[in-house]
Amino acid sequence: MLRNLLFVATGGAIGSVLRYLISTNLHKAYPNFSPYGTFTVNMLGCLLIGILMGWINAQKLMNPQLQLLLVAGFCGSFTTFSTFAHEANLMLLEQKPLQSILYLGLSVTVGLGLAYLGYRLTRG
Q: Which range of residues forms the domain containing residue 41?
A: 2-78
Mean pLDDT of the chain: 90
User: 70-88: per-residue pLDDT in tens?
Assistant: 999 999 999 878 888 988 9
User: 23-40: per-residue pLDDT in tens?
Assistant: 899 988 888 876 788 888
Number of domains in the chain: 1
List, for the chain, all residue ranges whose pLDDT scores fall below the cut of 50.
Answer: none
Domain assignment of residue 26, yes or no: yes
Q: How far is 94 from 87, CA to CA, in rounded Å? A: 11
Q: Which residues contact 61 (CB under 8 A, 6 or more apart)?
A: 52, 55, 67, 70
Quote the pLDDT of residue 73.
95
- The distance in angstroms from the start CA to the end CA of the chain is 44
Domain assignment of residue 19, yes or no: yes
